[in-house]
Amino acid sequence: MVAQKTRVFTALVIVTNVVGNLLLSMGMRQVGSMLGRPPVAYIQALFHPLVAAGVALLIVWMISQMTLLSWADLSYVMPITSLGYVLAALAGRVFLNEQVTWQRWGGIGLIMFGVLLVSRTKPLTETRASSACP
Amino acid sequence: MSVKWLLVGIIVAATTVGYLFQALGMRQHGEVHEFHFGALRDLLSALASNRWIICSVLALAASFFSFMALLSVADLSFAVPATASSLVFETILARLVLKEAVDWKRWAGAGLVACGVALLA
C-alpha cells in the first residue's frame, strides 16, 4: 500500500536525523556551554568537525523531509519520523553513556505504539492538484 | 532547569511553524518525481525562490540555534524528546490549516507519541 519511495525517504529522514543529532550532540559537548555566549560563538561552533558533520547530515535530513512532504501529509510524516526519537534515546545510551531509566523505556514503548498506529493510515489523505492522477 | 525549558518552548514554537510552512511550500511545489543529480539541483533552485520554504528555513534556523544552545547544557536524550511535543501542535495545524483528514489513528498516534515524550523527558 505504501509506495517504495515513501519507505526509502522515511528511512532516510530517520537515519540522517538521528546520526546528525548524535554528531551535533557530541560536538556541542566538546564546544561547551553556549548560554550567555555572543552569536559569533555559534558560528565558530559550526566549524568544529563533529558539529560540521552533524550539520551536513541535518541538511540531507531537511531536503529528504521536504521531498517526502511533497507527496505525503504533515500529520503522517511527523509521527512516523518520530521513530527517530526512539533511536536517539538508544544512541544516547550506546554512544554517549546517557542513562535510560525504566521511565524512558516506557516512553520509548508509547512512541513506538503511536508510530505503529499512524503507519496504518494512508500517507496522503487530502486532495492536491499534483496528485490528482496516480 | 528553567533556562532549558525556555529553550524547549522556543524550539517547539519555531519548529511547529517551520514545518507547517514547509508542508505548505512543498504542496505548492508539487510532488517530486525524479531523484537524479540534475533534478535535485532543479528542486533546490525552485525551493530557494518559494516564499513558504524561505519562511520555513528562517523558522527552522531559529529552532536549530536554540537546539544547539540546549544541547550544550542538556543531554541528547532530554533535548530530542522534550522538543518532540511540537508533534501535537503540528497535527492540530495539519487539520486546521492544511485541512488534512486526521483520523482517530493519527490523533491517537500523535497523542501516544506525545505521552511517550513526556515520559522520556
Distance (Å, rounded) from C-alpha B12 to C-alpha B90? 10
A107–B53 CB contact, under 8 Å = no
A16 grid coordinates: 540522517
In a domain, A134, yes or no: no
- DSSP assignment string, chain B: -HHHHHHHHHHHHHHHHHHHHHHHHHHHH------SHHHHHHHHHHHHT-HHHHHHHHHHHHHHHHHHHHHHHS-HHHHHHHHTTHHHHHHHHHHHTS-----HHHHHHHHHHHHHHHHH-
Residue A4 neighbours by CB under 8 Å, 6+ apart: none
Residues of chain B with pLDDT under 50: none
Which letter does DSSP use for residue A126 in this model?
S
Task: Check residue A125 and give its pLDDT.
Answer: 79
Chain B positions touching A72 (Cβ under 8 A) are: none
Q: Mean of the pLDDT values across residues A28-43? A: 83
pLDDT (tens digit per residue) in B27-57: 999 998 888 888 888 898 999 999 999 999 9
A5 grid coordinates: 519511495
Total domains, chain A: 1
In a domain, A105, yes or no: yes
B42 touches chain A (CB under 8 A): no
User: What average pLDDT does chain A have?
Assistant: 85
Q: Where are the domains of chain B?
A: 2-120
B19–A34 CB contact, under 8 Å = no
**Nearest by Cα to A65 from A10, A113, A15:** A10
B112 touches chain A (CB under 8 A): yes
In a domain, A40, yes or no: yes
Task: Check residue A72 and give its pLDDT.
Answer: 93
B87–A109 CB contact, under 8 Å = no
**Count of residues in chain B:** 121
pLDDT (tens digit per residue) in A87-129: 877 887 888 787 788 888 898 899 889 999 998 888 887 656 4
Whole-complex ipTM: 0.84
More confident residue, A88 or A46: A46
Residue A94 neighbours by CB under 8 Å, 6+ apart: none
Domain with A17, as residue range(s), is: 4-129
